[in-house]
Amino acid sequence: MRGLAATGTLGSVAALVGCTSESGGSRPEADSATPPPTPTSAPTADDTALVEELRGRVSAAHAHVRAVRRSQPERAAALRGLERTHAEHAEALGGLIAVGPPGGQNDARRALAQLARTETRLIAALARGARSADSGALALLLASASAGLSQRLAAIDA
């Protein structure tokens, strides 16, 4: 939980969602002088395990996207944003973990189909994590990551 502890979970949530008072976030103007609450309790063992599990999944998805992007230069621009999204999510969870790329897919269409399945499973895992997190701030972080990844994937599919 290095990233959560170092930056504060709520700071990570704001960075991922882009909701700060400077960026015109969703907080009402009258409430803009009130700072966000700071987490005061230590993370639970369940949340720590959840973060580590999801950090591994995000890191694996990052490695998968990178491998497909490198093998398909014609799709590099579309996949670069997805790769950055995974890096940002991993950073919020404590940083990328070294993970080898998945087994090679020589066929471009099959590689993209496998990537779509990997992304869909990650979106579902993040959503489940949001529902099971003990910390409300962690739940918000994971729900935001799931939603953002869904939007990124939809944009690539379009």
Domains of the chain in start order, with CATH, are 2-23+43-157 (1.20.1260)
Q: Which one is predicted more confidently, 20 or 153?
A: 153
Q: Which residue has the higher pLDDT, 33 or 150?
A: 150
Average pLDDT along the chain: 79
More confident: 109 or 134: 134
pLDDT value at position 158?
55
Q: Are 143 and 130 in contact (CB under 8 A)?
A: yes
pLDDT bracket for residue 3 (50, 70, 90): very low
Give the orientation angle of helix 108-132 with respect to helix 45-71, to 10 degrees. 160
Q: Tell me the average pLDDT across 16-35.
A: 40
Q: Is a pLDDT exceeding 90 seen at residue 131?
A: yes
Q: Mean pLDDT, to the nearest integer, of 3-26?
A: 39
Structure tokens that stand for 128 in this block = 């489940």
Q: What is the dihedral of CA 30, 33, 10, 144, to 10 degrees?
A: 30
Residue 96 has pLDDT above 90, yes or no: yes
Predicted structure pTM score: 0.73
Residue with tokens 């976030």: 25
The confidence score (pLDDT) of residue 104 equals 64
